Structure 1
Amino acid sequence: MEPAQNPEHSTLGLNGKAEKLPAGKLHSAQYIIALILAILITGLWRLQVLGADNFRALADANRIRKVPILAPRGRIFDREGRLLVDNYPSVSCYLLREQVKDINLDLPLISRGLNIPIDQIQAILRHYQAAPKYQPIPLKQDITPDEQAFIEAHRNELPELETLDVQRRLYPRDGFAAHLIGYVGEVSEEMLDNPRYAFYDPGDVVGRSGVEETYDSVLRGTDGYKDVIVNSHGKELGHLGETLAIPGKDLRLTIDLDIQMAAEKALEGKVGAIVALDPHTGEVLALASRPTFDPNQFSGRLTKSYWDQILNNPDHPLLDKATQAQLAPGSTFKIIMSVAGLQEGIAQDMHVDCQGGATFYGHFYACDQHHGMVNINNAIPYSCDTFFYTLANRLGIDTIARYARSVGLGQRTGIDLPDEATGTMPSTEWKLRTLHQPWYAGETISVGIGQGAVTVTPVQLARALGGIASGGVFHRPHVVFPDEVSSQDLEAIHESFPGSGETTIPLSKENWEIITDAMANVTGSPIGTAYAAHLDGIDFAGKTGTAQVMSHDALARSGGGHKTQPNAWFVGMTPRRNPDIVVAVLWEHGNWGNNSARLAAQVIDAFVNKQRKRAGNVREVATVPAATTSDATPAPVPAAKPVPSAE
């Protein structure tokens, strides 16, 4: 009889016979099992002991939610402390994607309760699909009390909906000063790629234009938060604490509300811009652009219908025509021509016989009147094209360009508003660089009257003529008082908005007096092109400009129409020398420069009347003749006087 096999050392083979297991394999299996147990025990120890604090924090996070407390933006005031932009309390609805596995199942109920189309909610979700899942998504702003009640009543069914108290912007009605003030809106994906917005998150509200954009870092406060205890359904059970938000800093603008109102009223129903500056300091007293837009529409979620209305408007309501419209200045450019001609010693002794135009390089250049013998003293009030054609021909384009650039044309002024345009001041170098063509002498003739390739913005023209009337001293235009921001912020703004800034040009006293006296005759003498806009008892000076928008041949082919009428310019000031205010007016397709002069007169009159009231010398407001685009003839003057130019 065979001895029995030890079961710990044998196994049953395929033939039914017991086989012996080698001791080495048995020991290896035992070691492997022991190693696995050791790993499991070590992992369990790390989770239960070393990771206890971490998992405790994660557990707390499941019951504690950080609710942001959005900081209100700083308010905006005019120079006298009158409120322009305020905030008002509002409630917004946010979507918490972490609270639900499949948001699509809840969309029909959310759509009905918040009165939002399902496709709009889906578009919002697509917009934020790349954002971290823990980030709340702004679903609807300014929700109604009924919508708030809906959210509270459906806490268990819709734990993903959360409300947040916010402060929303409240702008003036009817687009008042909209281009100057700007608006706020949600930060865009393109903006987030800009290092300037490195510390912003999707959904944050930032300034998108005007003062709101330039001074966003000043107006924007620091958000706070509160720790809220919630249950598994997201319902609040209590509070643990909070960090208060720090409101943004209030800003005081250089704008004078009374002057701004006068400018807005003058532009009503028109397309164009008005800029009023204090030439002594560069402070912007008023800045208006038409057509305008309602910034209140942009501060929330912009509706498609309003956006389509803005986009389809051929007059471009979002364009700030005061700083961005680049158009030929017409005869307002003759003041720069006069500076160049007098400083070069050419214009003083120049006499031109105007018989309705002159021929240069085989081409006849027309003047709108037969002015007879003209010199520098009456060429400006007459606005005689023939005189300035001749002067331009004698100066040459590069001399003209040198003086124009010295007063700031063809470059930004450095005003603290975004996206300022440069305008164009042509020269031989400019044409070679941009068009790769030589400059022809005949092109200079049109430049002499502010036509051809020369373009300016209203703010450039206001700074240029205001500086000339101030004896050659030019200041950087600005809409916020420098002491309203820190020196560091001010330096950063100047770096971000480069321009001609603070400059001085040599302008002899004699030449200065010739130019300013001639500008006073534009409005104060019956021979002046803006005599219809003169103001009794006010030393009101300026220069008109009527800039064609197409050639005479193109005009004949077009068949006419409002859009073919010339742009009407005027730059005026008071007093004529070292003025306290300079006003530049652009009225697109306003026909004649004297029409824009009447608009400027309304602003000048409001300014002077306010100064006199402060001094206790009250007078009645002057009546300024209303301007119309159909006013195609010059203002009537006594028959015994020379007939003024149609400008």
Structure 2
Amino acid sequence: MLPTDANNQTFSRRDEKIAPGKLAAAQYVIAAILLVLFAGLWRLQILGADNYRLLAEANRVRKVPILAPRGRLFDREGRLLVDNYSSVTCFLLREQMRDADLPLIAEGLHLPMDQLQYILRHYQYAPKYQPIPLKQDITPDEQAFISAHFNELPELETLEEQRRLYPRDGFAAHLIGYVGEISENDLKNPKYDFYEPGDVVGKFGVEEAYDAILRGTDGSRDVIVNSHGREIGKLGEELAVPGKDLKLTIDLDLQMVAEKVMEGKNGGLVAMDPHTGEILAMVSRPTFDPNQFAVRLSRSYWNGIVTDTNHPLMNKAIQAQLAPGSTFKVIMTLAGLQENAAQDLRVVCNGGATFYGHFFGCDRHHGSVDIRNALPYSCDTYYYTLANKLGIDTIAKYGHEVGIGQKTGVDLPGEASGIMPSPEWKLKAQRDKWYAGETISVGIGQGATQASPIQLARALSGIASGGVFIRPHSVMADQIDPQMQQALEETYPGTGKKRIEISTENWETITDAMANVTQSSIGTAAEAHLEGIDFAGKTGTADVISGRKKGTADKATLPNAWFVGMTPRRNPDIVVAVLWEHGYWGNNSAKLAAQVVNAFVEKQRKKAGNLRLVQAALPQPPNQDSGAKDDKSAQPSASAKPVAPADKDAARPASQPVALKPKEQKPAA
């Protein structure tokens, strides 16, 4: 009889037992689970012990960067131009960040909320452990806010660093440049492969060209932090290596004069030593304040300078590409003499001449003009005729030889190459053939001809130096090693150093004619004459529109005023090129250049005078013949060594002309 329950229901004995198969399956599942758990425990506790120990240590230890101070900049005499100052930057630690804290952070750091969110988006793909720079150069009250919310805002951290301090009022801003936070576009450039978001790099001028030398190597400090991310101890420190200081070629005294003469004008000025290529002064107007770029640039300031139609961010000394006007006539004179086409060329100027059915005007009726008075007169009619006689191919050949239409290779970013027009150039650039009438305009530096002040400075000083052309540079040569020098030449390619053959007779004819531009009553820059100084040069008045009217009240239609001058006339010690946009006559720029040249000469004379005073104050060697050791009137013996001058400039005042060499000899470099 089957068993019954309390309700007298029957059931089978088989219902009281679990099937052996199900029991075995459950046992296998439990064993597998235990095996997985034991394997995971083995991996965590045994195999991954070292790795997790490091991760735990990383949570306990933080690496705080120590930013390297950037190298300082000095002028050629060791006077400080660009320094650093201590600044505090606020960083955001994203690992500790809470979205609810952002409004309070924005309020305490005086940051608009949209700007704070933009910064977070900018760094969204950066590693989580990398601190985000929120605000640079924070104020004392912002530092107090961070300290007061020490526990409430653990994601905020401060770091003291050295920041750039530039001269005021944009002094030498285009030469020196500025630094700024690396941009997204920069990071896409292979040049910045080793840089990270937030890095500060050189953005312009010397700061950019020599960034690798100036930036130094950052260090780091290992600190112990608590669970809130706050520093509670130190473990070790790797010191930062400061960037190298650099001595620039500019002369502070000369730069100050150049800045003053260009104040309120629009254009560029460059002064250079033709012997070495050292840039003694460089000015571009209007200018900008590089200190604005040293911290996070305000949007209002940036919009103001990028929308300025006078282009304050353009270095017009090396980037302006404009018709050189009559300064090009020096190159025409060289071409005419070297090709034996100008020696016997005589033209009667009656206010212009007709070529190919078109009348080309001249500003005056100069009468009879030859190669010796063509430059002082700046007679367009003469150079129209010479251009027609030479032809565009010959003109372009000499233009290219002296560097027109080519970069000089100056060690500054953004140099423009200009244009030396030719049939080949026009076919390539405009898909059109060359017309003979275009050659006439090129002969006076108009038409498609374009040059920058530094190109003209190098070209005309090279001609005055007997055909020796030097690469301009802004940092003293002894400041960089040969490997860096080679890298610079590859980064900023140009015509570099070269020499062309100029006969001594032609050299003297050209340089004497340039001297008569400023020293003769017929010269176009007679008002810029400097008494007692062998000052030579060439003016240029370049039309900006065709058919301008003299005396027009519209400044935008006035010609650009050019002048390139030097002292002495042969083998000059300094060359100054001035571009004054809409400055009207080239004579106006000549007066500006004369002030810079006069300051240079006066300084050289003073140095030479001081040297003579030092030499006179030195005790004189005794006269060995008389044996009187204390005889002050005795002369030094032939074997006594004279005191060496302080430098080559002190040995001979710049105003003293070089003695003319015999005509059968080549001019000295």
* Shared fold (TM-score, shorter chain, > 0.5): yes
Secondary structure of the structure 2 residue equivalent to 1:576 = coil
CA distance in 1, matches of 2:361, 2:134: 63
Query: Where does residue 150 of structure 2 map in the other structure?
Result: 155
Whether the aligned pair in 2 keeps the contact of 1:571 and 1:583 (CA below 8 Å) is yes
Alignment of 1:596-615 (within 5 A): 596-615=589-608
Offset at 1:398?
A: 1.1
- CA offsets 1:522-567 (integer angstroms, 9 cap, x no match): 00000000000000000000000000000116x69x9741111000
- Contact persistence 2:277–2:473 (CA under 8 A): yes
Q: Given the alignment, which residue of 50, 54, 60 partners 2:51?
A: 54
1:519 paired with 2:514, answer yes
Q: Which moved more, 1:173-182 or 1:256-265?
A: 256-265
With 370-379 and 256-265 compared, the bigger mean Cα shift is at: 256-265
Q: How does 1:483-502 map to 2 (within 5 A)?
A: 483-502=478-497
Q: How does 1:214-613 map to 2 (within 5 A)?
A: 214-552=209-547, 560-613=553-606
Letter in 2 for 1:46: R
Contact 1:155 1:233 in 2 (8 A): no
Deviates more, 1:379-388 or 1:297-306: 297-306
| Count of residue pairs the alignment pairs up | 607
1:35 CA drift (Å): 2.7
Q: Distance in 1 between matches of 2:112 and 2:422?
A: 57
- In 1, the alpha carbon distance for the partners of 2:24 and 2:12 equals 26
- 1:631 alignment counterpart: none
Give ranges in structure 2 of 5+ residues lacking alignment. 4-10, 612-669
Give the aligned partner of residue 30 of structure 1.
Answer: 27
Residue of structure 2 in register with 1:74 after alignment: 71
Deviation at 1:568, TM superposition (A): 0.2
The SS at the match of 1:348 is coil
Q: Please report how far the alpha carbon of residue 101 of structure 1 lies from its aligned counterpart in structure 2 after TM superposition.
A: 3.6
Indicate whether 1:18 and 2:11 are aligned.
no
| Alpha-carbon distance between aligned partners in 2 of 1:46 and 1:130, rounded to the nearest angstrom | 31
1:155/1:234 contact within 8 Å kept: no
Match of 2:137 in 1: 142
- 1:33 is displaced (CA, Å) by 2.8
3-state SS in 2 of match to 1:546: strand
User: Deviations along 1:574-620, whole A, 9 cap, x unmatched?
Assistant: 000000000000000000000000000000001000000001179xx
TM-score normalised over the length of structure 1: 0.91
**CA offset at residue 482 of structure 1?**
2.4
Measured after TM superposition, the shift of residue 288 of structure 1 is 0.6
Q: Tell me the distance in 1 between the aligned counterparts of 2:160 and 2:35.
A: 54
Give secondary structure in 2 for the equivalent of 1:616: helix
CA shift for structure 1 position 87? 0.2
My pick for the range that moved more, 308-317 or 435-444, is 308-317
Question: Counterpart of 1:399 in 2: which secondary structure?
Answer: helix
| 1:629 equivalent in structure 2 | none
Return 5+ residue gaps in structure 1 as ranges. Answer: 4-13, 619-647
TM-score relative to the length of structure 2: 0.88
Whole-Å separation in 1 of the counterparts to 2:25 and 2:334: 104
Amino acid corresponding to residue 52 of structure 1 in structure 2: A
Shift of 1:312: 2.5
Whole-angstrom CA distance in 1 between matches of 2:155 and 2:26: 52
User: Which string of whole-angstrom CA distances, capped at 9 and with x for unpartnered residues, describes residues 352-371 of structure 1?
Assistant: 00000000000000000000
Q: Is the contact between residue 2 and residue 12 of structure 2 (CA under 8 Å) also seen in structure 1?
A: no
User: Shift in Å at residue 254 of structure 1?
Assistant: 0.8
- Name the residue aligned to 2:637: none
Cα pair distance change 1:40/1:610, threshold 3 Å = same
- The aligned residue for residue 644 of structure 1 is none
Aligned counterparts of 2:106 and 2:189: Cα–Cα separation in 1? 35
Cα shift at 1:100:
2.0
Are 2:205 and 1:207 aligned? Answer: no
Report the CA distance between 1:227 and its aligned residue: 1.1
* Alpha-carbon distance between aligned partners in 2 of 1:99 and 1:318, rounded to the nearest angstrom: 41
Residue 248 of structure 1, CA deviation: 0.3
CA deviations 1:309-336 (Å, max 9, x no partner) are 2123210100000010000000000000
SS in 2 for 1:615: helix
Give, in angstroms, the shift of residue 56 of structure 1: 1.7
Pick which of 590-599 and 231-240 moved more: 231-240
Q: State the percentage of identical aligned residues.
A: 71
| Aligned residue in 2 for 1:640 | none
Q: Tell me if structure 1 keeps the 8 A contact 2:561–2:586.
A: yes
Residue 351 of structure 1 deviates from its aligned partner by 0.3
Greater shift in the superposed pair: 55-64 or 88-97: 55-64
Q: CA deviation at 1:17?
A: 5.3
CA contact 2:552–2:558 (8 Å) conserved in 1:
no
CA contact 1:254–1:480 (8 Å) conserved in 2: yes
